[in-house]
Structure 1
Amino acid sequence: MFVDDVTGEVTAWAVADGIGDNPEAAAAARTAATTAVRALYGRGLDPAAALLAARHELLNRQPDGDTVMVVAAARAGGEGYELAWVGDCRGYELRDGRLCQLTTDHTVAEEARAWLREAYSVHEPPPGWHAHHLPRWEHIVTTTVATASAATIGRAATRDHTTRLLLTTDGVHKHVPHDTLTTLAAASDVRTGAHRIARAGTEHGGHDNATALLVDPVVTP
């Protein structure tokens, strides 16, 4: 997270999930997240450019590690949040009691779903193979920080700062039911809510790293 020295507000965030269960993956996640958040304000970059800065730093410092990541920043003047991501970390917006996913997973499974939506109408059942393969393909990411380019980075935005953001790793959102995630994201205290969301990942059968960040509305000049 980045804290604005003038307003005292936290105005930039990143959640990264190293690829693999080893020290190199953990180091890659730390390097990428720290670099991206510093670049957002220290260098005045937007989230997509900050993610590319993280790629450059990662390849220089941690060439043997890689990670997926979602980056978010509050735009000045209350004009909403900007997000950029690679892989299957997610960003959500809690608005009017509804938790809406802002990002789209960069996975083989999501690519297959997009193809199925284009190839088959609502009245034509898709082939049976998809039900067998999709669960396995959920874990195969198609973009990472180390392989990111301007063309492959995902981008999203919200219209104002009046809502709460939720950033998660797949150890959370691939296991916790959406209704449960919505309830936990509406907690009165963001730190308590984020802790409960991360804990819910393992409580619902997950064995992967589970990380969650809840962001309250930000007031910017």
Structure 2
Amino acid sequence: MAEVGTRWKSAARTDRGKVRARNEDAVLALPERGLWLVADGMGGHQNGALASRLIVEEIVELPEGGSLDDRLLDVRDCLYRVNRLLGHEITMTADKPDSIMGSTVVMLLAQGERAICVWAGDSRGYLWRSGKLYQLSRDHCLMQELIQEQQLSPAEAASHPSARALTRAVGASDDLLLDIVDFTIYPGDTLMLCSDGLYQDLSRDDISDALSLESTERALHRLFRQALSGPARDNISAVVIRP
């Protein structure tokens, strides 16, 4: 069994926010396994909460051993399996056969000095390093496609009425496409996974300043304090991680 190590520290939290009737987000933090996850469910009623919870439940059951590459293969196979379940077996037996049941997902796998971020949807992964904030993930939403494919400015793309519409999510289509970033972790790095409910009302400076704090708990507390001081129209979830 490959050594994951116990050096990782993390803090996780999820909150309903101020407007939503229920929380459809789910978080997972297993620093002893080098595994963290944020999922943001969609579909209304209980569908979104079921979808995000199913992702967490299935990921937890994955084997703990093996190399990071082996673990990545297990994660991909698991998410493909959940995608089939949400897209067919569960959705088609729901109260409304045409109802949507899906979830974004952003995950971090870590082992030694190596880490892998895996995602589908607009939940994000961030890296704070040497005073600078980097976005590891790229949103799978219409706004991002308009910027990339039609060369619109961020402001122009944001003005589109469906700018935040997802183009990828677990359960959203028959074929799930996952994006992956493989990178090296250095001492002093801080990482964060979060749902869009956290970052949509915070500036990059807000996030950077919080992640610069000396502990994961303090960083998380500041992020949620700032997010909840605003409109908090969506559920809010985040995991802050440090080697």
TM-score, normalized by the shorter chain, greater than 0.5: yes
Structure 1 residue 114 and structure 2 residue 151: aligned?
no
Letter matched to residue 179 of structure 2? G
Contact 1:13–1:37 (Cα < 8 Å) also in 2: no
SS at match of 1:55: helix
The amino acid of 2:51's aligned partner reads A
Quote how far apart the aligned CAs of 1:203 are. Answer: 2.0
Amino acid at match of 1:26: A
Measure the CA separation in 1 of the matches of 2:138 and 2:146.
13
Asked if 2 retains the 8 angstrom alpha-carbon contact of 1:85 and 1:153, the reply is yes
Aligned partner of 1:93: which letter? L
User: For residue 222 of structure 2, what is the amino acid of its counterpart?
Assistant: R
For residue 211 of structure 1, the aligned residue among 237, 240, 243 is: 237
CA shift, 1:206, in A, is: 2.8
TM-score normalised according to structure 1 size: 0.78
Q: Which SS does the other structure have where 1:196 is aligned?
A: helix
- The answer on 1:138 being equivalent to 2:163 is yes
1:211 to 1:39, Cα distance in 2 relative to 1, 3 A: same
- Judged with a 3 Å threshold, the aligned counterparts in structure 2 of structure 1 residues 213 and 149 are, in CA distance, closer, same or farther, namely farther
Q: 1:24 deviation in Å?
A: 1.7
Equivalence map 1:112-191=2 (5 Å): 112-117=146-151, 130=157, 132-133=159-160, 136-147=161-172, 152-162=177-187, 163-191=189-217
Larger strand fraction of residues = 2
TM-score, with structure 2 as normaliser: 0.71
Letter in 2 for 1:172: L
Gaps of 5+ in 1: 121-125
In the alignment, structure 2 segments of 5+ residues that lack a partner are 1-27, 95-100
Q: Distance in 2 between matches of 1:62 and 1:86?
A: 20
> May I ask how many residue pairs the two structures share in their alignment?
201
SS at match of 1:39: coil
Q: Which deviations, in whole Å up to 9, do the C-alpha atoms of 1:50-76 show, x marking residues without a partner?
A: 43243245457743521111111003x
Whole-angstrom distance in 1 between the partners of 2:210 and 2:158: 30
SS at match of 2:49: helix
1:52 aligns with 2:80: yes
The Cα offsets for residues 78-117 of structure 1, whole Å up to 9 and x where unpaired, read as: 2x21011111000011111211000000000100000233
* 1: CA distance, partners of 2:126 / 2:173: 22
Counterpart contact for 1:16–1:67, Cα < 8 Å: yes
The higher-RCO structure (CA 8 Å, 6+ apart) is 2
* 1:72 partner letter: L
Which residue does 2:98 correspond to in 1? Answer: none
- Which aligned pairs between 1:2-151 and structure 2 lie closer than 5 A? 3=30, 9-39=32-62, 41=64, 44-46=70-72, 47-59=75-87, 62-63=90-91, 64=94, 65-75=101-111, 77-78=112-113, 80-117=114-151, 130=157, 132-133=159-160, 136-147=161-172
Identity of aligned residues (%): 23
Per residue, is there more helix in 1 or in 2? 1
Distance 1:41 1:99 in 2: 30
Q: Aligned AA for 1:202?
A: L
CA distance in 2: counterparts of 1:42 and 1:35, whole angstroms = 16
- Helix, strand or coil at the partner of 2:57: helix
Change (3 A) 1:24 1:167: same
Aligned to 1:137, the other structure's residue is in SS state: coil
Aligned counterpart for 1:193 among listed residues 211, 219, 232? 219
Compared CA separation, residues 186 and 93, structure 1 to 2 (3 A): same
